[in-house]
Structure 1
Amino acid sequence: MLDEIVTVVKKCGDIILFADGAERNVSSKEGRANFVTKYDVAVQAYLEEELLKILPEAVFIGEEGEHSKAIGEGYAFIVDPIDGTTNFIKNYHRSCVSVGLALHGTMEIGVVYNPYSNEMFYAQRGKGAFLNGQLLHVSSNRLEEGLVCFGTSPYYAELIDQTFDLVKILHRASLDVRRSGSAALDLCDIASGRCELFFECRLSPWDYAAGSLIVQEAGGRISRMDGTGISLDKGCSVLAGGPAAWEDYFKLEGHMELA
């Protein structure tokens, strides 16, 4: 099943790569800088059609569309057709397709593909995490020896000051900070050991569902920013990292604990 999902996701990457910048048909959704293009819609439609061929009984939950579906007790696909839509609009080449498969509310498969770099990240519960066939493992560095990647929760203006106050704290406590515009890829950077810690004060499940399993299967920790478990049925804060850096976060003076 994993191989079938990877094949479908790879084909979606081709749709993104050959997108015509003049025909992206950008429109806005609720919230600040919350955009959707015709390619978000097209990729999600393709994913829904092809993934449900693999598992017809699964619930399909995607960013573009109706969000009231419950994960339920069976299989559920949790999908972001283009994570990093603003990057996609600006041709910034930091966008990806993210597909998670949950069973009884637990992540079983995660696939994240950046077509611009041709990097396919994937994991299956209990079988490890991989990048283009190479086994991944998170960094063992302490926070002071690491990079911090973060998201700004741009759709939630009330979180801006909190976010950047924390960025200042983490900048002083680490080697440096990075902001990429794709939470799914940031989580994969944690899994691959490129960064030691990631946080974002508010995300939706399709932003982190696939990446959460990839982090865990690479030996990392992922939680809300208060240390409790992430949710797959509603949005929450996200904190992820190698075990050492994740633990160091909670030792920082002035760290935030958000649900």
Structure 2
Amino acid sequence: MDLALRAAHQAGVFLRDGRPDDLGVAATKSSAVDVVTEMDIASEKMITGFLAEHRPDDGFLGEEGASVQGSSGVQWVIDPIDGTVNYLYGRPAWAVSIAARVGGADGETVVGVVHAPMQGETFRAALGEGAYVNDRPLKVRPAPPFEQALLGTGFGYLTERRVRQAEVVRQLIPQVRDIRRGGSAAIDLCDVAAGRLDAYYERGLNPWDLAAGDLIAREAGAVVGGRAPGDAPSGDLVVAAPPALFEPLRAKLDALGAWHD
């Protein structure tokens, strides 16, 4: 936890204070709107370099290409800027996300840190020890009736997927209080943990998008799962909600085909 916090704060200061006024797109990934900036790349190098200095036998999985097997059984899962498009446009909803899992790629996440510099907040959780924002304990909001739920979601970058996701929102929004789209999966999961959203769902997330936020939400009392009952969260679908709201939302999303492109 200490190393994750130090790495996240160092990267956060660098990203907040070092953002060029003329920041542009350095590369694209899945589509022309799925962007990478030079700051994403530099932030990941900073984080992996710091962690490798202190734990040279650990493995790494990072959004911008860090991939080291390691020999210790510990793997760090890193999103150097979760919410890159927000960061590119100077919007505040972006974060540094760092998780540590034991047992390699299929192991259990034991530490998660989501540092949101522009919000002045650091969310953290250790397995079995609860979740916190700065020094305040986190707890999910009690589940409201389904029709009063405030949901968060996100959209992918492939046109076909975005069209399908928009159709799911079109059908779902008359049935709930409202739907928010913040642009950072890590912050959305932390917002469930903090009671700022009743629930969150999204299709198409990668391990680095959700590893830290998943643990933080669960340690705050949320259920986090996937498409089918008992499924772990995955790229097919991630659902996070208080226990009494989780299954109604998961079942509704399944009925709407939210897992299908």
TM-score, normalised to structure 2, is: 0.90
How far apart are residue 25 of structure 1 and its match?
A: 4.0
How far apart are residue 249 of structure 1 and its match?
A: 1.0
Preserved contact between residue 29 and residue 36 of structure 2 (Cα < 8 Å): no
How far apart are residue 256 of structure 1 and its match?
A: 2.7
Distance 1:56 1:213 in 2: 24
Q: In structure 2, do the counterparts of structure 1 residues 85 and 20 end up closer, same or farther at CA, with 3 Å as the change threshold?
A: same
Q: Between Structure 1 and Structure 2, how many residues are aligned? A: 253
Unaligned runs of 5+ in 2: none
**Residue type matched to 1:258 in 2?**
W
Q: In structure 2, do the counterparts of structure 1 residues 20 and 252 end up closer, same or farther at CA, with 3 Å as the change threshold?
A: closer
Q: Deviations over 1:72-104 (max 9, x none)?
A: 881000000000111001001110000010001
Residue 41 of structure 1: aligned partner? 41
- Of residues 54-63 and 18-27 in structure 1, the stretch that sits farther from structure 2 once superposed is 18-27
Residue 77 of structure 2: aligned partner? 78
CA RMSD of aligned residues (A): 2.0
**Residue type matched to 2:14 in 1?**
I
Distance 2:70 2:206 in 1: 14
How far apart are residue 153 of structure 1 and its match?
A: 1.3
Preserved contact between residue 249 and residue 255 of structure 1 (Cα < 8 Å): no
Distance 1:46 1:76 in 2: 17
Residue 132 of structure 1: aligned partner? 134
Distance 1:222 1:62 in 2: 22
Residue 61 of structure 1: aligned partner? 61
Secondary structure at the aligned position of 1:252 is classed as helix
Distance 1:198 1:168 in 2: 16
Distance 1:150 1:162 in 2: 13
Please give the residue correspondences for 1:1-259 in structure 2 after superposition, counting only pairs within 5 Å: 2-32=1-31, 33-65=33-65, 74-104=73-103, 105-142=107-144, 143-154=146-157, 156-227=158-229, 228-231=231-234, 235-252=235-252, 254-256=255-257, 258=259
TM-score, normalised to structure 1, is: 0.90
How far apart are residue 225 of structure 1 and its match?
A: 2.7
Identity %: 31
Secondary structure at the aligned position of 2:78 is classed as strand
**Residue type matched to 1:199 in 2?**
Y
**Residue type matched to 1:137 in 2?**
K
How far apart are residue 20 of structure 1 and its match?
A: 3.4
- Of residues 243-252 and 33-42 in structure 1, the stretch that sits farther from structure 2 once superposed is 243-252
Q: Deviations over 1:167-192 (max 9, x none)?
A: 12331221111001100100000111
Distance 2:23 2:148 in 1: 41
How far apart are residue 257 of structure 1 and its match?
A: 5.8
